Amino acid sequence: MVRLCSRLPAVGRTETGVPSQRLLFPLKQRSHYPPSRLSPLTLSIAGHYSLTLRSDLIMFSRAVRPAVRAGSAVVTRTAPPNAANFATLREIEGRLKSIKNIEKITNTMKVIASTRLTRAQKAMGDSRVYGETSNTVFEKAETKPLEDKKTLLVVASSDKGLCGGIHSGLSKATRRILQEYPESDIVVLGEKAKAQLSRTNPNALVLSFANVCKDIPTFADAQAIADQIALLPTDYASVKIIYNKWLNAQSYEPATVEAYSEEAITKSANISSFEIDDQALANLREYALANSLFWAMAEGHACEISARRNAMENASKNAGEMINKFQILYNRQRQAAITGELVEIITGATASADM
């Protein structure tokens, strides 16, 4: 039997998190009480051994030490190895704050993309007039690419991400075309597709453009790119422009539009029906290439804005679900902490009443 005469027992926790009872002794008190009554700083164990605590010295009897060690070994218990390692309230609160900030960013980007999508669709409709007119001319002239020369692939991508798999889809379509035309060269518009194609086909890249399609493309931008392509030393049979074709606000697919060389236009079966001077064929070829580039860039830009809006909408939805999940976890952890504190208070009060 252990009897404490200085203070009541207090309930605490060990370093492992297991509840335990510890005895609090004030050391700075006098210990010269009459021998007739027990000192407030004297611990009587089973009526045979005694432990006297003083402010300057703690004296243990040799007979008491084994009993004290055994008692401390019983009180101090280790947590089981399979105990759950829950996050603290502060960690959950920090995670909630970061997810809410991400949700604000994705919502803002969604609103911006929705605002820009209307203008991008209008520009896409205007550019189709140029591209479809050029295609109609070559279809009626029955123009076909030459077979004995290389083909140039122009990938109409952009520099920005956070728009789903719109750039990776173009890269996959380009690799499929390269399997049919393995000797083709590649011109890339934008850094995203360039980074992907440079890992698989670095030797095929001959020209690349950065800082394109940041805003709605213009015909002047397409004309500048067409001029740089015309300066390439290789005489290509045709130019295949790979771009994202608009289907609706939720979907798109990679497509190609072809621009022919001057020699291919000259050898067209019905080109004479248009009464074109030979000196104007070079200008027609460059103008047709610029029209096709303008069409591909404008339509690809509209697909990119639509894909970014859809991606940000899905990201905001996922962030909302994560916020609800962590809010429930936070409430449960908070209730568990409050319940634990109440249990400690009630246990301490019960122990005080028993003493």
CA–CA dist 51, 63 (Å, integer): 10
Q: Tokens standing for 241?
A: 């422009």
pLDDT at position 64 is 44
More confident residue, 135 or 257: 257
Contact 161, 167 (CB under 8 A): yes
**213: helix, strand or coil:** coil
Which of the four pLDDT bands, split at 50, 70 and 90, describes residue 69?
A: low
Residue positions counted in the chain: 355
Which of the four pLDDT bands, split at 50, 70 and 90, describes residue 280?
A: confident
Which of the four pLDDT bands, split at 50, 70 and 90, describes residue 164?
A: confident
CA 78 → CA 17, 55, 74, distances in Å? Answer: 8, 31, 10
Residue type, 308: R
- The CATH classification number of 122-312 equals 3.40.1380.10
| 10-13 and 49-53 beta bridge pairing | unpaired
Is residue 197 scored above 50 in pLDDT?
Answer: yes
pLDDT at position 286 is 87
If one counts every other C-beta atom within 10 angstroms of the C-beta of residue 241, the result is 24
Tens of pLDDT along 182-191? 889 999 999 9
Is residue 277 scored above 80 in pLDDT?
Answer: no
Q: Express as a percent the part of the chain with pLDDT over 70.
A: 75
For CA atoms 186, 189, 193, 194, give the dihedral sign: positive
Is residue 51 scored above 70 in pLDDT?
Answer: no
What's this model's pTM, rounded to 2 decimal places? Answer: 0.68
Which of the four pLDDT bands, split at 50, 70 and 90, describes residue 144?
A: confident
